[in-house]
Amino acid sequence: MVLLNEEQISLQKKAYSFAKKHLRSNEAKWEAEGTFPKETFAMAKSEGYVGMLIPKELGGQGLGFSDSALVYESLARGSFTFTFWLGVHNAVSYGVYLAEVDESIVREIATGEKLIAIGLTEPGAGSDP
């Protein structure tokens, strides 16, 4: 059994409230239209869900893995797709931070000024004919 402290409970409730208000009601529309929710990303950024693992002095939130997991779990209750993308952005930004890349780049990623993107393909399909 994991016991959460008051700060973690508050973090979890805040993220779940965001998920109910901004994610759950829009996920089907985003999927049907194949669009990226820029406005919702901006709101997530202002709520502190971008750059969660990056230290505060570099523009991030300075959260640990356990606290960020609580946020992801709560957000995913509204939209797994949005939360997955946000998780990829945050995980890759943490990798960039660990790689000691130029501090200005880390800051732009941690604050959401720059977005992380990845591409995957399979042998003989898509971009790998």
Domains of the chain: 40-119 (1.10.540.10)
Does 117 score more than 80 pLDDT?
no
DSSP element (H, E) containing 95: helix 80-98
CA distance linking residue 72 with residue 55, whole number of Å:
18
CA distance linking residue 82 with residue 93, whole number of Å:
16
pLDDT digits (tens, 9 = 90+) for 37-94: 889 999 999 999 999 998 888 888 999 999 999 999 999 999 999 999 899 888 888 7
